[in-house]
Amino acid sequence: MENYPIVPGRGLVTAYSTKLRHDHLDELGHSTKYISASSLFHADIQNKIESYIGSVEIPVGLVGPLLHIGEDKEEWVYAGAATLEGALVASMNRGAKAASLSGGVKTSFVHQKMSRCPMFVFNDAAAAALFYNWLQDKYHSIKKEAEKYSNHAQLLSIEPVCITNAVHLRFYYRTGDASGQNMTTTCTWHAMLFIVELFTKETAVAIKNYVIEGNGSSDKKISAHSVEKGRGVHVVAECHLKEEVIENVLRTTSDDVLRCYAPSLMLAKKDNMFGYNINVANAIAAIFAATGQDLGCVHESSVGMLHLEKAKDGLYISLTLPTLVIGTVGGGTSVPKQKEMLELMQCHGKGGLERFARLIAAFALSLEISTYAAIVSGAFAKAHEKLGRNKPVNWLIKSELNQSLMNEIMGGLSDDYAALSVSFEEREMENGIITSLTGKTSQKLIGFFPFTAKSTQYSMLLLVKSKALDQDIIKGMHNMAAAIDPALSDLIYNCRNHTEYYNCHRKELFIYEDLYNSGFCVTPAYYGKKEDLQREIYLLVMEYLTKDSMHLFNTENSPEMWGELDIEKAITAITDIHLHYHAKDSQIPGHLINRFDPSKSASLYEKLISIILKEEAASESIEDLKRLSDFLQDITKGSIENVLPICLVHNDFNPRNAGIRSNGEVCIYDWELAVKNIPHRDIVEFLAFVITDSENMSILEMHLGRHAAAWGRDLNDKDWLNGYAYALKEFMVCRMSFYKVSEILMKLKFPDRVMKNCFAMLSYIENRL
């Protein structure tokens, strides 16, 4: 075609040709801004791609540690999984944990083969039969010819298949550490030419046609023949799952798993499902993408045979991967990032293929273990449950965060702000736990977005905080809880309107504005808000705090940084806010910020405590933790409102959400969990985080004495002291229980230390009482 468009530098992989293609696409109106921002060097991808324009990134998650039992040793191993499927890496890690706690995954390497199947077509069936019989004593000469063209290929066998007037020759090779598709193609091509010449010379019979591949090798396809005869690596992974681990980690039982296995397997056989597994392809695809494997081979490599049977104390479970097409040399394995991932697995290069196959099988089995257990226990369904309406409204999009919107919001506070020049920045922001959880279940634009606002006289670094709805947060927590215990996820949803998360998307906006209007300067500077109920938009514009402007900032894991004066300043600042809201309690909208009442969610806290006691059964602190059940009864059996003041409390007051500026002033932020409660609640939480010596309670006595005096009370006042005891019990039951249970999925640094301080503080107060 004369008018067929020409792409410049077609096929070339050079810096100049790449630029020509970028310019060409730009002229056509297609942006390559992000695709072109690649870290790859052209030299690294020569002969691996044509007409290169850039790269796309797939996030890589760390899987492991997994206790792997190879042929001659036990070791802890890791892998990288490249995926955009949320929860995949978490599920692989849960399975790896369960397998490791049960003694590890044992793997067996059976064989490695690669096939190529040229086709020879003759004028009639008689000529084909002649060719078939002629081949019988030619194997050694063909083998010698084929192996001339590779230093690594070893021809194992040739199996002819005669179908009418065509003969297919299945060549089987051992290809060392390469997957071998290219290697076997080259060797087989030259062997084929040798066969054609020799056969014609010796028989004078013409071969009508011949091609390098007649589809008999099942290249990048699934076939029974590949499974039976071998293509790629045949490897097996097996594990004896202990009943205790099945119950404590996988949240089900071996009996429940086996009750589902038999009928599920029967249906798979009835449907002629090829093999039997749950989601092996997920693990294969993720590891393939991370390590530079041929992604076209994911299909055939994901054939898996999962087998389960009852063991003496739990389950025996095995996974066979009979057609794993992989390599540790050649192809994409030499690209820097993919090479680095193979090196992390200690599989790169010569001699790495067997180990690589073993580890893939081990991690694929880990995913099977976790996913099967999740399905049986109900966690799989809970993690995917929609929880109410999921119809998207006209949500905020990133392009709307612009000068016009910021001027509109900030102009409500000052005319000067309405004309500021605004520019948003692409900057990596650290979101809190709540925002991160919500991001797994919502496509809304939530989180922190920094921008600069300038005038001719000054420049300010500001931040937009786009808040998720309370129901979005509950969905995120529900999703996380599903991986721990499906019953817990139900309770979180059922109690959603009686926790501190209720109305969290509106509370923080109200408090920032109200503190600003009341003249308080203890939060990041406030520059306005925007609420749009129909579009579910809740925006807060405020000062962007940086480490350079702070003396103490995000120090929840560094209590030693808090000096006595710093602690006193923080407690004084929050106490001033408590006193302010105690005096104007009637002006706090009751429908917006409610009185925290643990009794309305007692069933949720009972479940959290039961999980903690099961998880910590062997820990040194188990006797203290057993008291949590008594604490729950104490905080739900009666009211303390008649004897102690009730005010607005931060309810998440710790060094993660409170800092000291470089000028010595206190700065308190993240008010989304605020509730009405006794003021003691914020005080005990903060002290539990900053106390460094649980054996020395002198610092506790000093700060509690000052706090009591600020309210005109004496520390020896029994009712006031009871307030601290109540607040500690409530903090441990209603907040620390969440942290402790969360540690099943993600390790946090502070819970054990803070709980230890809480018990020490409570002991001191009970002795005073």
Task: List the catalytic residues.
Answer: 85, 294, 384
**What does the alpha-carbon distance between residue 227 and residue 250 come to, in Å, rounded to a whole number?**
31
Q: Are 82 and 94 in contact (CB under 8 A)?
A: no
Q: What is the edge-to-edge ordering of all strands in the sheet holding 447-454?
A: 421-424, 447-454, 459-466, 537-543, 526-532
Q: Are 667 and 552 in contact (CB under 8 A)?
A: no
Q: Which helix or strand (DSSP H or E) is residue 509 part of? A: helix 504-517
Q: Are 409 and 422 in contact (CB under 8 A)?
A: no
Q: Are 288 and 295 in contact (CB under 8 A)?
A: yes
Phi then psi for residue 424, to 5 deg, are -85, 150
327 dihedral zone (left: phi>0; alpha: psi -120 to 50; beta): beta
**Helices 125-134 and 181-203, packing angle to 10 deg:** 110
Q: Which helix or strand (DSSP H or E) is residue 181 part of? A: helix 181-203
Q: Identify which of 129, 184, 177, 137 has the alpha carbon closest to the alpha carbon of residue 156.
A: 184
**What does the alpha-carbon distance between residue 694 and residue 636 come to, in Å, rounded to a whole number?**
27
Two structure tokens written together for 464: 């937009």
**What does the alpha-carbon distance between residue 698 and residue 717 come to, in Å, rounded to a whole number?**
18
Two structure tokens written together for 423: 């520019």
Strands 105-116 and 60-69: parallel
CA distances from 192 to 131, 153, 173, 384, 627 (A): 13, 16, 15, 53, 79
Q: What angle do CA 327, 332, 337 make, to 5 degrees?
A: 110
Question: 468-486 burial, b for 16+ CB within 10 Å, e for fewer?
Answer: bbbbbbbbbbbbbbbbbbb
Say which residue the tokens 């590891």 belong to. Answer: 287
**What does the alpha-carbon distance between residue 383 and residue 380 come to, in Å, rounded to a whole number?**
5
Q: Identify which of 743, 435, 737 has the alpha carbon closest to the alpha carbon of residue 601.
A: 737
**What does the alpha-carbon distance between residue 667 and residue 547 come to, in Å, rounded to a whole number?**
13
Q: How many helices (H) and strands (E) does the chain have?
A: 28, 20
Half-sphere exposure of 178 (CA within 13 A, CB side): 19
- Cα dihedral 288, 290, 293, 295, rounded to 10, equals 60
Interacting residues of 671 by C-beta distance below 8 A, sequence separation 6+ = 507, 508, 511, 512, 523, 650
Q: Are 179 and 330 in contact (CB under 8 A)?
A: yes
**Cis peptide preceding 65, ω within 30 of 0:** yes
**What does the alpha-carbon distance between residue 348 and residue 338 come to, in Å, rounded to a whole number?**
9
Two structure tokens written together for 160: 């002819």
Two structure tokens written together for 597: 């009442």
Half-sphere exposure of 318 (CA within 13 A, CB side): 14
Q: Identify which of 43, 717, 570 has the alpha carbon closest to the alpha carbon of residue 335.
A: 43
Two structure tokens written together for 421: 């020049």
**What does the alpha-carbon distance between residue 220 and residue 282 come to, in Å, rounded to a whole number?**
17
